[in-house]
Amino acid sequence: MPTVVCTPDDLHYDAGRGLFTRDADGRPRPVTVVHRRAVLADLLSRYGPAFAEHPMTRAWASGACVMVNPYTSNLANKKSALALLTDPRTRCLLPAPEAAAAGALVPWTRLVRPGSTACPDGRTVDLLDFARSRRERLVLKPNDDYGGNGVVCGWHTTDADWRTALGRALATPHVVQERVPVPVVPYPVLAGGRLRVERSGESTDPFLFGADAPGCVSRVSTGSLINVSAGACPVPVFRVAPRRREPAA
């Protein structure tokens, strides 16, 4: 498909022509499919309330273009959604099989705010007191950010720094989450023309389409944050299956 890589400032819209960019000679180039890479929080920060009238927004709202990763998908980026899946007060709204799956698979997560809550073992505790006393077992994450930005791993901080981070988390939306053990496996590394083996943390994330998972992406890192923006390395994934034996002649 003919494609143009551009910034939101390069887009134009009118009701008759739809969404378009301009080439080097100023001629309009129609745009019917937008693959949005710009993060919504960054767009709102840049344009403010005027973003509601941005050409890309108007074209999407009017149906003049199809947007891959539309604005509504931003709900899936909110880490506080995991709190809804792990808090007994809200998890009960799910069908029983889904509630059981969430309880078994989603790490304990809470939005950072004053008040009581159920801790991982089911006891009712004051959330902030619990978070202060369990630093080495918890991680703080901004509710709406990407690339590992602002993530604070309690086991890598001092008590003083952890308390400071909790104070910041009360000022802007953050979640506190239970630490999840990450698989650590040996990986070959080529550096300086020499091959060596290093133990790296590994994260594998499936591509889900409904109930199907036709593929996945895997990343490895020697640090705690397994995120490409934070220095992790994507690695290829191969499916290994027994060789099919041909029948004897």
CA gap 12, 4 in Å, rounded: 14
Q: Residue 231: which pLDDT band, with cuts at 50, 70 and 90?
A: confident
124 pLDDT more than 90: yes
Tell me how many helices (H) and strands (E) the chain has.
7, 15
Looking at residue 239, its pLDDT comes to 82
Q: In terms of C-beta density within 10 A (0-12 exposed, 13-18 middle, 19 or more buried), how is residue 48 classed? A: exposed
Looking at residue 54, its pLDDT comes to 96
Tokens (6 digits) for 130: 């619990």
Q: Check residues 76 and 56 and name the one with the higher pLDDT.
A: 56
Strands (E), 121-229: 124-126, 138-142, 152-153, 174-178, 184-191, 194-209, 212-221
**DSSP state for residue 31 in the 8-state scheme:** -
Winning range, highest mean pLDDT, from 86-90, 129-133, 204-208: 129-133
Looking at residue 128, its pLDDT comes to 96
Instruction: Output phi, psi for 157, to 5 deg.
Output: -120, 165
Looking at residue 229, its pLDDT comes to 80
Pairing verdict, β 109-111 and 174-178? antiparallel
63 pLDDT more than 90: yes
CA gap 80, 12 in Å, rounded: 35
R_g of the chain computed on alpha carbons: 23
